[in-house]
Amino acid sequence: MRIHHLYSGGKDSSLSAWILRRIGYDVKLVTVSFGTLDSWRFARETAERLGFEHSVLYLPGEILERAVRIAVEDGHPNNAIQFIHERALEALASLPEVERVSDGTRRDDRVPFLDLPKARSLEDRFGVAYVRPLLGLGYKTIRELTERLFVVEIRESEELEKSDYEVELRHLLREKGIDPLEIFPREHYQSRVLGWREGNLKGKE
Amino acid sequence: MRIHHLYSGGKDSSLSAWILRRIGYDVKLVTVSFGTLDSWRFARETAERLGFEHSVLYLPGEILERAVRIAVEDGHPNNAIQFIHERALEALASLPEVERVSDGTRRDDRVPFLDLPKARSLEDRFGVAYVRPLLGLGYKTIRELTERLFVVEIRESEELEKSDYEVELRHLLREKGIDPLEIFPREHYQSRVLGWREGNLKGKE
């Protein structure tokens, strides 16, 4: 039972990858890149430390260009991130070898998030199962599980070495002479998993 | 990390109990009863076969009486089942030793189902975490996991030896001279887990 899991190296996508493995899936981590930066390397590094297979899925630069236009029009990144995530899931689900796709979206997320009609549409259009292990978990539960499992680094998004969509989105904004801080909220903290917590044998199974 | 899991002996509540155990929780199964029947014994039997601790939580008969009135007024059981499920979660969450509650509700369920405001309200009012391991899983995923794990018996609800709310609801309807088939849809199939699939070692861990 192979599953392809969209992976950023953050705690949500790492926790959901671990849950998928614990319930019997052969988990392949996939990080999206538009090729403007090699920020996917941080996800690769975390994937290797956690013992998962990892690959990079390159998406067309036009998707990032369009996301930048959306973010600038809105003055806010939410719809842009939602747009990229939907295209990333579709690109992954359309690969011939992919039967199951998953991500680390959670109950309390506003974006990226597929509502029920969108989730079913993804499954129907591409003939895949779409699995979200964290959807039924609140922040307390996610916190207690990640604290038990991982060593996590939490920093402001601008400083963190990460592989999520934001990194290339911020980069392209800067290239276009736009300060990302005009679009992204200040004090926006994000996480990166550095490895298993010492003595944690569960994760290594 | 102890969690109290509402349990009917069906495949959804059994699968979610197994997932909770696989991700590190000490799972206590709890079956609700109004004391009108001993149908909770079927859940107890399945719980024992699967190797989980099990207890019965008795709810006041007035809740079942009110659910019957709702079902008769509606001519349909959905709101009645939703009503019982919310009261069951509240009763469980209000017990002093309970810090985490869970159930087997899934993405494609209409009832019983707590929307996000209701889920957060349950957590806030009782100071618990509410965990739904199947919320992010579609029917394909649930089917492949249950087929791999369990021997399942699927029968029409009227015939199945089960422990869910329906059994006592149907019983009280009959006591009041109302044919449950006027309220519940015909050809309504339900499942009961009979045990682990042979050779499945994962479940027994």
The 10s digit of each residue's pLDDT in B110-131 is 889 999 999 999 999 999 999 9
On whether the pTM is more than 0.90, the answer is yes
- Taking a C-beta distance cutoff of 8 angstroms, is the pair B3, B131 a contact? yes
Residue B5 in contact with partner chain A when CB distance is under 8 A: no
Other beta carbons within 10 Å of A176: 11
> What is the per-residue pLDDT for A108?
86
ipTM of the complex: 0.93
Q: Is B93 on the interface with A (CB under 8 A)?
A: no
Query: Under a CB-based contact definition with an 8 Å cutoff, are residues A151 and A197 in contact?
Result: yes
Give the tens place of pLDDT for each residue, A13-22. Answer: 999 999 999 9
Which residue of B2, B107, B120, B205 is the best one to mutate when testing the A interface, meaning the one whose CB has the most A CBs within 10 A?
B107
Query: How many angstroms separate the CA atoms of A119 and A89, rounded?
Result: 10
Q: What angle do CA B189, B195, B198 make, to 5 degrees?
A: 120
- Smallest CA–CA separation between B155 and chain A, in Å? 26
DSSP assignment of chain A, as one string?
A: -EEEEE--SSHHHHHHHHHHHHTT-EEEEEEEE-SS--THHHHHHHHHHHT-EEEEEE--HHHHHHHHHHHHHHTSSHHHHHHHHHHHHHHHHTSTT-SEEE----TT--SS---HHHHHHHHHHHT-EEE-TTTT--HHHHHHHHHHHEEEEEEETTT----SHHHHHHHHHHHTT--GGGTSPSS-EEEEEEEEPTT--GGG-
Q: Is the pLDDT of residue B189 over 80?
A: no
pLDDT at position B186 over 80:
no
Q: Model confidence at A185, in pLDDT bands (50, 70, 90)? A: confident
- pLDDT, one tens digit per residue, over A3-59 is 999 999 999 999 999 999 999 999 999 999 999 999 999 999 999 999 999 999 999
Mutate to test the interface with B, among A3, A137, A204 (most CBs of B within 10 A): A137
Amino acid (one-letter) located at A197: R
Nearest CA in chain A to B114: A136
Q: Is the pLDDT of residue B205 over 60?
A: no
Nearest chain B CA: its distance from A11 CA (Å): 15
Over its C-alpha atoms, chain B yields an Rg (Å, rounded) of: 16
Which of A22, A132, A141 is opposite residue B129, by nearest beta carbon?
A141
Residues in chain B with CB shorter than 8 Å from the CB of A19 are 19, 23
What CATH number belongs to B2-196? 3.40.50.620
Question: Could you tell me which CATH number the domain at A2-204 has?
Answer: 3.40.50.620
More confident residue, A158 or B18: B18
Nearest CA in chain A to B127: A140
B-chain residues near A138 (CB < 8 A): 119-120, 123, 129-131
Span of A62-66, B164-168, B172-176 with lowest mean pLDDT: B164-168
Query: What was the pLDDT predicted at A133?
Result: 98
- Spatial separation of the C-alpha atoms in residues B88 and B6, rounded to whole Å: 8
Task: Please name which of A42, B203, A16 lies closest in space to residue A5, comparing C-alpha atoms.
Answer: A16
DSSP B17: H
Instruction: Give the DSSP letter of residue B169.
Output: H
Which residue of B25, B110, B121, B137 to mutate against A (max A Cβ within 10 Å)? Answer: B137
User: Could you give the 3-state DSSP secondary structure of residue B194?
Assistant: strand
- Domain spans of chain A, in order of start: 2-204
Amino acid A153: pLDDT: 87
Chain A: closest CA distance from residue B57 (Å): 23
Q: Do A120 and B138 make contact, defined as CB atoms within 8 angstroms?
A: yes
Which residues from chain B sit within 8 angstroms of residue A148, using beta carbons? 1, 24
- pLDDT surpasses 90 at A65: yes
pLDDT tens for each residue of B29-85? 999 999 999 999 999 999 999 999 999 999 999 999 999 999 999 999 999 999 999
Average pLDDT, integer, range B94-104: 98
Nearest-angstrom CA–CA distance, A138 and B130? 7
Q: How far apart are CA A51 and CA A196, in angstroms?
A: 10
**Hey, is the C-beta of A52 within 8 angstroms of any chain B C-beta?**
no
Matching residue, tokens 């109302």: B178
Among A17-31, A134-148, A150-164, B178-192, the range scoring the smallest mean pLDDT is A150-164
Report pLDDT digits (tens) over A89-134. Answer: 999 999 999 999 999 999 888 889 999 999 999 999 999 999 999 9
Yes or no, beta carbons of A129 and B123 under 8 Å apart = no
Who among B22, B132, B145 is closest to A136 (CB)? B132
Which residue of chain B is at minimal alpha-carbon distance from A105? B136
Distance from the A143 Cα atom to the nearest Cα atom in chain B, whole angstroms: 11
pLDDT value at residue B200: 62
| Cis preceding-peptide flag for B112 (omega within 30 of 0) | yes
